[in-house]
């Protein structure tokens, strides 16, 4: 069974560390003058940090966790992450703890109380090959990365040393790739990025020191697997300018930095994040500007000018609130317990159509599950595309009517509807189902993180019959969509001679389909199935079980 979480992306949490430095690293002073045996001395002042909540437009909303020294406070803020249980997990560097909060900031107790690796910098949660969750905590002061069972808190593994050496690992930022591997930024005693496989527990160097960033901090992956890495270097520390480097999916550094920072607006990047907050699904790149006390925003890698600066997104002067030395940055849903208004709409009595309206409420999650009912002859791609209204209209992004505007509406059945619709698919909601009977190729839950959507929008499902045939080894599902648009942008119908291997898109609006036939059926209980065979050639079995999905309301 495939699962998929949708969240309304309506809040950003930012750790306002409010400490210029956390540790001083002087290996030549190891064991003397307050320095540890590894040469670290803690120089922070506890009780000054807050966790701030901001709206999607960058405006300040509220203090999520207030400053102080109590259990409910974060004495020295750093990393934070959203757990599969809907709670926010936050490292407290000053207390060697991981604390839990609900999505409105109420303290929910400790995950680890005084027992984390020393000076915990980052916390992340991921799944292994058996879909069990683990929580990982990195140590800034040579205690490596520790992995804990998410349910019990039991220590499962300790990545204590730099791979291939006996040198203790000082670890900063961590992030997962789309295959579930964990990437760790090694700092101080080494500058490298380490790759850790949760199933084999093998840790190996992925980005070697000679091509790594100086003090690598902040790791993000784009949709094709390229890695982006910041640096805790910058003029505030008298070090070289801050840049965001980019690496291939195999760890080779690309010749051009993603952010070259020629204007010096970026001064020490403590975190980097890729978010798709835009209506068109394109990504933007967010950087915690530690020295500049702001969150900077850059155009994402899937835009026409990747890495171009959009300036400060969050800063006291434009957002309100108080942000000083920002660290962790995540997106969360709104208040716990509020149900999302995700309502099927069947306009004009057209029972074959299906539109979902995303309500303006301020949370939560819903699970899309694809049960083991799919029994397709073809290898299909299924996804959701954004509508302009409940009647199935889409924005004419390709100017199909030739009037020079890309803001007109196309209704189901209009020329150019298919290419415009597929050009507005939700990039992180793509499933592969059927695979000519090979269920191993079906999309699984481990291949998805949270899917984030904006309130007040309409979505409808589509299927590309035979779309999976376009995928070559290593291709992403998004590349399958692109290849389809290259070879059949007009969505030409299948014929008796080619329906076995002809790629064609079918939508939840019958009139939008090239054969003019309904291809979507409701099984009840919000379970829906697509039919992948053409309905006008006398070949369809009309079983509507070629791409089955279910919406379960939270």
User: Which residue's structure tokens are 């699904």?
Assistant: 281
What's residue 140's pLDDT?
Answer: 93
Please check whether residues 406 and 259 belong to one and the same domain.
no
Q: Provide the residue range defining the domain that includes 412.
A: 356-553
Say which CATH number the domain at 252 has: 2.120.10.30
Please check whether residues 149 and 191 belong to one and the same domain.
yes
In a domain, 429, yes or no: yes
Neighbours of 428 (CB within 10 A): 20
In a domain, 338, yes or no: no
In a domain, 521, yes or no: yes
Please check whether residues 305 and 403 belong to one and the same domain.
no
Of 298, 332, 366, the residue at which a domain comes to its end is 332
Beta pairing class for 394-395 and 527-530: unpaired
Burial 139-176 (b: 16+ CB within 10 A, else e): bbbbbbbbbbebeeeeebbebbebbeeeebbbbbbbbb
User: Which residue's structure tokens are 């005084």?
Assistant: 114
**473 burial via Cβ count (<10 Å: 0-12, 13-18, 19+):** exposed
Q: What is the pTM of this model?
A: 0.63
In a domain, 348, yes or no: no
Of 269, 300, 332, the residue at which a domain comes to its end is 332
Please check whether residues 115 and 257 belong to one and the same domain.
yes
Reference 261, options 216, 228, 214, 298; nearest CA is 298
Burial 71-87 (b: 16+ CB within 10 A, else e): eebbbbbbbbbbeeebb
In a domain, 405, yes or no: yes
What's residue 429's pLDDT?
Answer: 61
484 vs 467: CA distance, rounded Å: 7
What's residue 318's pLDDT?
Answer: 87
In a domain, 428, yes or no: yes
What's residue 126's pLDDT?
Answer: 92
What's residue 549's pLDDT?
Answer: 47
Q: What radius of gyration do the chain's Cα atoms show?
A: 25
- Answer yes or no: are the C-beta atoms of 297 and 284 closer than 8 Å: yes
Please check whether residues 263 and 399 belong to one and the same domain.
no
Please check whether residues 469 and 520 belong to one and the same domain.
yes
What's residue 475's pLDDT?
Answer: 74
Please check whether residues 273 and 377 belong to one and the same domain.
no
What's residue 400's pLDDT?
Answer: 87
Please check whether residues 320 and 439 belong to one and the same domain.
no
Instruction: Give me the number of domains the chain comprises.
Output: 2
446 vs 429: CA distance, rounded Å: 13
Please check whether residues 327 and 441 belong to one and the same domain.
no
430: phi then psi, degrees, rounded to nearest 5: -125, 130
- Answer yes or no: are the C-beta atoms of 91 and 98 closer than 8 Å: yes
3-state secondary structure of 161: strand
404 vs 424: CA distance, rounded Å: 19
Of 316, 332, 348, the residue at which a domain comes to its end is 332
Structure-token pair, residue 493? 């119908």
**Which mean pLDDT values do the consecutive 10-residue runs of the chain (554 residues) have?**
34 92 91 93 96 89 94 95 89 96 90 93 92 94 96 97 95 91 92 96 96 91 89 83 93 93 88 69 83 92 88 89 93 46 35 37 30 45 79 87 84 91 77 51 38 57 80 77 89 72 80 76 51 54 43 38
Structure-token pair, residue 430? 């793509």
Neighbours of 236 (CB within 10 A): 16
CA geometry: angle at 46 spanning 109 and 242, to 5°?
105
In a domain, 342, yes or no: no
- Answer yes or no: are the C-beta atoms of 180 and 129 closer than 8 Å: yes
Please check whether residues 205 and 280 belong to one and the same domain.
yes
513 vs 553: CA distance, rounded Å: 29
3-state secondary structure of 437: helix
336 vs 105: CA distance, rounded Å: 10
Please check whether residues 321 and 196 belong to one and the same domain.
yes
Q: What CA dihedral angle connects 223, 90, 205 and 211, to 10 degrees?
A: 70
Structure-token pair, residue 327? 């660290």
What's residue 73's pLDDT?
Answer: 97
Q: Which strand (E) or helix (H) includes residue 487?
A: helix 477-487
End-to-end CA distance of the chain: 17
394: phi then psi, degrees, rounded to nearest 5: -125, 160
- Per-residue pLDDT reduced to its tens digit, 36-95: 999 999 999 999 999 999 987 889 989 999 999 999 999 999 999 988 887 899 999 999
3-state secondary structure of 130: coil
In a domain, 344, yes or no: no
What's residue 540's pLDDT?
Answer: 45
- Per-residue pLDDT reduced to its tens digit, 249-272: 999 999 999 999 888 898 988 898
Integer CA distances (angstroms), 34 to 41, 114, 171, in order: 6, 21, 21
User: Which residue's structure tokens are 């950087």?
Assistant: 287
**119 burial via Cβ count (<10 Å: 0-12, 13-18, 19+):** buried
Please check whether residues 407 and 473 belong to one and the same domain.
yes
């Amino acid at each position: 069974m495939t699962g998929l979480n949708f969240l309304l992306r309506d809040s950003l949490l930012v750790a306002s560390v409010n400490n210029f430095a956390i540790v001083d690293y002087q290996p030549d002073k190891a064991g003397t003058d307050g320095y540890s045996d590894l040469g670290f001395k803690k120089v922070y002042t506890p009780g000054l940090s807050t966790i701030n909540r901001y709206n999607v437009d960058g405006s300040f909303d509220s203090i999520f966790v207030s400053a102080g020294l109590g259990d409910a406070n974060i004495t020295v803020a750093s990393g934070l992450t959203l757990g599969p249980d809907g709670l926010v997990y936050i490292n407290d560097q000053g207390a060697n703890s991981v604390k839990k909060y609900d999505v409105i900031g109420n303290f929910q107790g400790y995950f680890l109380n005084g027992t984390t690796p020393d000076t915990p910098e980052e916390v992340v949660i991921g799944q292994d090959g058996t879909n069990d969750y683990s929580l990982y905590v990195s140590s800034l002061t040579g205690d490596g990365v520790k992995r804990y069972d998410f349910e019990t808190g039991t220590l499962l593994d300790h990545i204590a040393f730099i791979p291939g050496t006996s040198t203790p690992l000082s670890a900063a930022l961590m992030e997962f790739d789309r295959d579930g591997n964990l990437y760790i930024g090694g700092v101080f005693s080494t500058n490298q990025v380490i790759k850790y496989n949760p199933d084999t527990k093998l840790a190996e160097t992925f980005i070697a020191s000679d091509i790594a960033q100086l003090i690598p901090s902040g790791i993000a992956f784009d949709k094709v697997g390229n890695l982006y890495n910041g640096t805790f270097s910058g003029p505030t520390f008298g070090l070289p300018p801050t840049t965001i480097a980019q690496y291939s999916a195999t760890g080779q550094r690309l010749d051009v930095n993603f952010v070259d920072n020629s204007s010096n607006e970026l001064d020490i990047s403590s975190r980097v994040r890729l978010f798709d907050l835009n209506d068109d699904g394109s990504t933007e790149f967010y950087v915690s500007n530690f020295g500049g006390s702001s969150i900077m925003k850059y155009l994402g890698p899937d835009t026409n000018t990747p890495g171009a600066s959009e300036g400060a997104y969050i800063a006291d002067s434009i957002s309100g609130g108080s942000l000083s030395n920002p660290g962790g940055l995540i997106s969360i849903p709104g208040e716990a317990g509020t149900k999302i208004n995700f309502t099927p709409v069947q306009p004009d009595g057209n029972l074959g159509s299906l539109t979902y309206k995303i309500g303006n409420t301020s949370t939560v999650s819903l699970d899309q599950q694809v049960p083991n009912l799919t029994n397709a002859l073809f290898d299909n791609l299924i996804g959701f595309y954004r509508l302009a209204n409940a009647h199935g209209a889409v924005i004419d992004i390709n100017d199909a009517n030739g009037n020079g505007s890309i803001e007109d509406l196309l209704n189901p059945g209009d020329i150019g509807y298919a290419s415009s619709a597929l050009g507005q698919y939700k990039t992180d909601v793509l499933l592969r189902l059927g695979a000519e009977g090979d269920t191993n190729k079906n999309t699984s839950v481990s291949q998805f993180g949270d899917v984030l959507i904006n309130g007040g929008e309409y979505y409808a499902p589509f299927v590309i019959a035979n779309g999976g045939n376009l995928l070559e080894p290593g291709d992403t599902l998004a590349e399958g969509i692109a290849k389809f648009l290259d070879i059949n942008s007009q969505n030409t119908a299948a014929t008796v001679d080619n329906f076995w291997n002809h790629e064609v898109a079918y939508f939840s609006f019958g009139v939008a389909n090239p054969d003019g036939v309904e291809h979507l059926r409701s099984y009840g209980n919000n379970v829906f199935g697509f039919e992948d065979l053409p309905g006008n050639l006398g070949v369809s079995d009309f079983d509507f079980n070629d791409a089955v999905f279910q919406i379960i309301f939270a």
